[in-house]
Chain A
Amino acid sequence: MSELAIELKGIDKSFGLVHANRNINLKVRKGTIHGIIGENGAGKSTLMSILYGFYQADHGDIVIDGKTVNIRDPNAAIAAGIGMVHQHFMLVENFTVLENIMLGAEESQILNAGITKARAELKRLEKEYALEVDPDAVIEELPVGIQQRVEILKALYRRADILILDEPTGVLTPPEADHLFRILGQLKDEGKTVLLITHKLREIMAITDEVSVMRRGEMVATRTTKDTSVEELAELMVGRRVLLRVEKGEAKPADVKFSVKNLTVRDSRGVTMVDDVSFDIRAGEIVGIAGVAGNGQSELLEAISGIRRAKSGTVLLNGSPIDVTGNADPAELRKRGLAHVPEDRHHVGLVLKFEESENAILGYHDDPKYRKGLLLDVDAIRADAEEKIAAYDIRPPNPRLKTANFSGGNQQKIVLAREMERNPDVLIIGQPTRGVDVGAIEFIHKRIIEMRDQGKAVLLVSVELDEIRALSDRILVMFAGRVVGERLPDATEGELGLLMAGVEGRKEAAE
């Protein structure tokens, strides 16, 4: 047994009534990669925020390298040798790599001496850990994978021996993720300790030495990775057995229900985000759009659902055109049989301050069945919400509860219930399981397959490649606003990964 890098003893933290961390004990051995998994809201982020000094624990001790330390703020964490790579990078976009790395560690008022020193130190770090970065490149011009590398360098520059990575692969393509894992392996070999927070079980199995599972604010188990399995970890996370494979039969595609031709969409700055995209969706099939976040998927969804005006192109719903370049009205599209589960349920799909029942009619609120004379028929609205709550097992089953107080999975079910129960012809779904716990994922996937089997045309956009592969009957890959390839779901991850990274696509487009 090697010595411990981190030991947490009885960490406890509440926010008001929400008990985010309960009596957490954790031992992380020096020179290992230690995974921490758990569903959303299990308390992983809170625990790491305590370790990094963003929050103070109500009770409990943090022991680093055998010494009990008091981590009041991130500076104290850095002094204790802890570095953190956040899910959303904390970089100054218009600074160079070197400037970002120095930021907060300038050492004197005159920058010159510091810059020379930092440059030398950066060289050394690059060599030692094989982390190549051009120190004079401006951050906003670098790909996400490299930006993440800068974050890691930042931590190493501050002499971190313990590195915390919070969901590091969420924004990466599969090849970039592989590269990251190689870097983490290298760091481990140099004697650094890595804490990896993720909800992706495969990553845990691939690179960690040990793994701890959190559930509802408690640390429920720690396992040696090679002695455990994905199934066991999933069960520990959820607290019951979970079906990880999606069971679905053969698709029976019929007529084309939804057709996109030469669609081009620009964002508010005039940058082309969707570039000449065309595809069809038939009744009874799920078309998945894979791609790294930010390659035009969001703009595509917004344009075809009437939220964002397209530059050019035509879209046909049930054979008749949607005025996507003019005044397409989302309310009218709903009446024509287009249902849309938006990517961002917190700001778009739901009004978090509304009661559940009020969200259950969002977009359908002009339906006469919710009206009594000039007024809204609150009883009818609540009764309707109760039916959906029962059908989708939304918990707690209270139509009058404020929507913000539902968990991510239940919030998503509120949106799905609203959009699916209308019996639409075409269903557009963005990120169906983002921020949704494992138990609800299973349920949501089943419902999507059911919609397909009922003969709906389904468009699925997700940054989770596993989800795309599990659900889709055909996969389109988007890169830099264009559809760079179409594959069947049995395509290998490597093949799709290259397409997503734009490598294969360029070749294909050239042919």
Chain B
Amino acid sequence: MSVPYAKLPAWAEYGLIPLVNLAVAFLISGLVVLIVGESPLEAAYHMINGAFGRGEYIGFTLYYTTTFIFTGLAVAVAFHCGLFNIGGEGQAYIGGIGVALACLSFDRVLPWYLLFPIAILGAALFGALWAMIPGWLQAKRGSHIVITTIMFNFIAASLMNYLLNRVFKPLGSMSLETRTFEAGGQLPKLDWLMSIFGLSVGSAPFNISFLLALVAAFGVWVLIWRTRLGYEMRTMGHSPAAARYAGIKEARIIVIAMMISGGLAGMMALNPIMGEQFRMQLDFVQGAGFVGIAVALMGRSHPAGIIPAALLFGMLYQGGAEISFEMPSISRDMIVIIQGLVILFAGALEHMFRPTITRVVLALSPKTRDVAATKGA
């Protein structure tokens, strides 16, 4: 009785249910497009074509994907420790300082492959320190992490305004950005990876930080499921009382989890700063920190789910831009509605179709019946 729904086989749990949720989200999005007086099929075509139609488009999609993998992982790590880190946006923004400092200091002396590790460390360090403050406040003072991380997003934005204006902006420049980095501060594109598939990356900023994102995803899996620290974080996340009973130091784990989370968010800054613009611009994060929340929700806080979820949002970003370009009556705001619907069905209404799907799946597969029967006893 304590288990309202029976366990589903993995393919249904992680494949079928997200797909159904997604399908419904797109169906309703289609209705919205219809109400605006446009053809949903045409919109769908532009979405898919815009995201995957050409090598260049795929490059853009994967560029956004890279960003969302980092911020999604950041949210997921904190989730596992029972912390809702809304501050990915600010942590990524502050992480940019680390990248910028590394690049501005060494871009003229070091080649990119030596500068990149320094920039990674800088990004992670600055992001981690920015997340450490709310983590410490939560652990020691009980200040709620959701509130403090939101506030720290605003503080980060103000701080960056100041720094870009007064510190990073080169003399005589009008725009709020650092100087453009020399060759050492520019990450190579992954055209070789695309050319394996016979595609050309074109002008898309698809760069090597994509590979770093994949490594980070694997690293997060190892951390959460294969280390003592991850075990303690999960214990804490599921049951603080059990963690106390087990002798896990609550305050320490909260601060560490937030620092890892912030570090991952900070590493997102590598992608736009070193991979696309070759300088740090005002507001370079552009909401990716918040998209990370949706990505983590959809990916069930598991790296294997976060990567496809990040790809989906990369597609929505790139394909959505294409729709608004090709179909002027569908504005960018419409794209936000579609993204919102995806979040709504994949995250908030996750369980809406579950009872029905459970019944259908179990009716079709008699084998799973025995498993569930033992637990009912």
Contact = CB atoms under 8 A, between A and B. Distances in A.
Interface centre among A16, A332, A363, A378 (most CB of B within 10 A): A16
Contact of A365 (B3, B232, B358, B372): B232
Interface centre among B222, B242, B244 (most CB of A within 10 A): B242
Contacts of B244: 307, 330, 348
A216 B369 CA distance: 16
A260 B296 CA distance: 48
23 contacts: A15-B1, A16-B358, A17-B368, A17-B372, A41-B1, A41-B377, A217-B376, A305-B245, A307-B245, A348-B244, A349-B242, A350-B242, A351-B234, A354-B234, A354-B235, A354-B238, A358-B231, A365-B228, A365-B232, A378-B226, A396-B374, A402-B7, A406-B375
A121 to B, nearest CB: 36
A74 B314 CA distance: 50
Interface residues of A, number: 48
A365 B247 CA distance: 10
Interface in B2-19: 2-7
A365 B246 contact: yes
B231 A15 contact: no
B203 interface: no
Interface string B221-265: 010001110011011001101101111100000000000000000
B1 A363 contact: no
Q: Which are the 8 A-B pairs with shortest beta-carbon distances?
A: A331-B247, A17-B372, A17-B6, A18-B376, A330-B247, A16-B6, A363-B246, A405-B375
A128 interface: no
Contacts of B239: 347-348, 351-352
A179 B355 CA distance: 46
Q: How large is the interface on B (under 10, 10 to 19, 20 to 34, 35 or more residues)?
A: 35 or more
Interface stretch (A136-144, A205-213, A368-376): A368-376
B21 to A, nearest CB: 19
A306 B247 contact: yes
A404 B3 contact: yes
A231 B231 CA distance: 45
B356 to A, nearest CB: 11
B362 interface: yes
B245 to A, nearest CB: 5
B373 A17 contact: yes
A329 interface: yes
Interface of B: 1-7, 222, 226-228, 231-232, 234-235, 238-239, 241-242, 244-248, 355, 358-359, 362, 368-369, 372-377
Given A18-B6, A374-B227, A352 B1 contact: no
Interface in A287-336: 305-307, 329-334
Interface string A12-47: 000111111000000000000000000001000110
A362 interface: yes
Given A17-B6, A17-B373, A46 B1 contact: yes
Interface of A: 15-20, 41, 45-46, 216-217, 305-307, 329-334, 340, 342, 344, 347-354, 358, 362-363, 365-366, 371, 374-376, 378, 395-396, 402, 404-407
Nearest to B374: A396
A362 B231 CA distance: 9
A41 B231 CA distance: 31
Nearest to A49: B1
Contact of A17 (B231, B238, B376): B376
Contacts of A374: 227
Given A15-B4, A18-B372, A362 B246 contact: yes
Given A20-B1, A363-B246, 20 more contacts: A15-B4, A15-B5, A17-B6, A17-B372, A41-B377, A45-B1, A216-B377, A330-B245, A347-B239, A348-B244, A352-B238, A353-B238, A354-B238, A362-B245, A365-B246, A371-B228, A375-B227, A376-B227, A404-B3, A405-B7
Interface centre among B4, B228, B373, B377 (most CB of A within 10 A): B377
Contacts of A19: 373, 376
Contacts of B1: 15, 18, 20, 41, 45-46
Interface centre among A217, A306, A351 (most CB of B within 10 A): A351
A378 B242 CA distance: 21
A363 B245 contact: yes
B301 to A, nearest CB: 12
A216 B358 CA distance: 22
Contacts of B355: 16
Interface centre among B222, B241, B375 (most CB of A within 10 A): B375
A334 B246 CA distance: 9
A347 B238 CA distance: 9
A55 to B, nearest CB: 10
A80 B349 CA distance: 37
B242 to A, nearest CB: 5
B246 A376 contact: no
Contact of A362 (B235, B372, B375): B235
A18 B241 contact: no
A329 B247 contact: yes
Contacts of A376: 226-228, 231
A237 to B, nearest CB: 14
Contacts of B4: 15-16
Contacts of B358: 16
Contacts of A395: 374
Nearest to B362: A17
A18 B4 CA distance: 8
Nearest to A367: B228
Contacts of B362: 16-17
Nearest to A395: B374
A340 B244 CA distance: 13
Contacts of A407: 375, 377
B368 to A, nearest CB: 8
